[in-house]
Chain A
């Protein structure tokens, strides 16, 4: 099921084409006047294509500054794209601000990263969860609203009595449950989850991830899941997209990505996953850091850190190409079949994926 090509599962619920977000790094007016010089731009998202089939999860992974959170904000309308289109169930919402049009936006909600910042500290929990219901006029009376809030609280594993409390009376995990209750109150079909567990402890993370999986089964939700943690992504996803400096370098069915990573950056990321089964393993971690996004390397952004880089990689930006098993990767080396085999062998030797559990 994981490896099913997108075409077979019908029209995707979310479709993103050539999505771009460029931020102008404006210097203060006086400096611009006196020093001149051109405007610098950061290409936070630079031509992104993806589809998410109904009822499935696509995860975006990457290190800080890769643009994954910007993608979430663009899709939710919290930020205006500089180019490209976003189609939700066929409707173009690329230029629509957050919350509009109401009939579409009601069907897509978001769960935020920081459970300490995403709930208004001065509101009672019942009011926080009821806010979407009120905004979309989904409950006829206060009694009905309260019943619905109680139901939602219990659905996410809290107590109906908790509605009278304030957010500060809850732990991080409980707050994230409140956040989830708010997100599903409008009966959405699509949830954008921006690092929903990265601020939580592992034992609590497991609770939230289990809840999200259960919700997906019971409510038939479609997720865009954003994370920097590949193990978390493995648990959550049907599809995984790897981002590097604003571009997708690989999009594959989840199992395929772990078993058969194509792009050198994907392999690098996989190699950073600590192996809990084997203690004190010595390894040679890949060198280098993510470069400054204001001035990314030309050609393929990854070439300065890539062992396979050649002249073409330094000058020509690769595009996403389709390979067997629904795998898409943007890499000249993969396309040319250059040096893939030895690296693959090495990667699988250093990473007995199946044995790790």
Chain B
């Protein structure tokens, strides 16, 4: 059984003009110790998927259908109190801006010790030792001195290291990281990615890495889910999805990323932009931008279809002839 199973997840936003569906019928699993990348452009519903899994959807957003199971037990219908116990102990969270995860009024050490003692049976002295160990683990120099400092005394990269320590210190088996490197400088991004990969591997923790950055996915994830307009376009092993994408959207996305090396005259571009939630096209949501579109695409919504390597939601793979 997979560590996390997400089945037909639907996230809705009631507005006065009707209910908007931000995540639409999304299913995937995360295995023990695996890093799943969730990638997509803004408005794809990737962050919303992550937030639904940790139960941190901003109201009025709500789970409108489907199930989320951790170790086979449903967690999508838990009360806020029960969910709070799951968060931290079983699921850790890392967000884009480290300052939102750290309380400016407490020292880094106090926050670590509190998190550890909330979730693990430990004395204060043991917890402190453990906390300093974690600071060292995430690569913070002079951890016993830094233990007593406040978040504002850390640089951006160091703060994100502290957030990673905080997310991992109760030894959860799943980590949700939402754009963990986006706010950081490029040279620091690489450090944080390497760190995240290392600690996940050493602890055999699984992670869902939500990002818009294909580079981060390429360096970190085992499998990747590509989202478009709230739906899964494609999911599969990273090497396969990035190098031999099955879905025309993934192919366009990969082609539009500038690369180093001899420069082309033009980048491959996908015309248009992601539809707003209020006017998602019927049939396949990608059809107005798709270079391989045919008549059926306007009518039939493709289901995620298992392929040799991974799965894609595209009528090209449903035996529908153009």
Contacts and interface: CB of A to CB of B under 8 A. Distances in A.
Nearest to B289: A203
B20 interface: no
A210 to B, nearest CB: 5
A43 to B, nearest CB: 19
A204 B194 CA distance: 29
B215 A276 contact: yes
A283 interface: yes
Contacts of A349: none
Contact of B253 (A202, A234, A279): A202
Contact of B258 (A209, A278, A280, A284): A209
Interface residues of A, number: 54
Contact of B259 (A174, A203, A276): A276
Nearest to A277: B243
A171 B259 contact: no
B188 A274 contact: no
Most buried by A among B252, B253, B260: B260
Given A203-B270, A209-B267, A289 B155 contact: yes
A267 B150 CA distance: 34
A209 to B, nearest CB: 6
Contacts of B282: none
Contacts of B256: 202-203, 205-206
Contacts of A270: 260
A196 B261 CA distance: 22
Nearest to A232: B258
B260 A274 contact: no
A36 B157 CA distance: 33
B267 A273 contact: no
B268 A201 contact: no
B260 A279 contact: no
B185 interface: yes
Contact of A63 (B185, B220, B270): B185
Interface of A: 63-64, 171-174, 201-207, 209-210, 213, 228-232, 234-235, 254-255, 258, 268-290, 353-357
Query: Which 8 pairs between the two chains have the least Cβ-Cβ distance?
Result: A274-B215, A206-B256, A285-B190, A201-B41, A63-B185, A206-B267, A206-B269, A235-B258
18 contacts: A202-B253, A206-B269, A207-B270, A228-B185, A228-B186, A229-B258, A231-B259, A269-B186, A274-B218, A277-B242, A283-B190, A284-B194, A289-B156, A290-B187, A354-B262, A356-B261, A357-B260, A357-B261
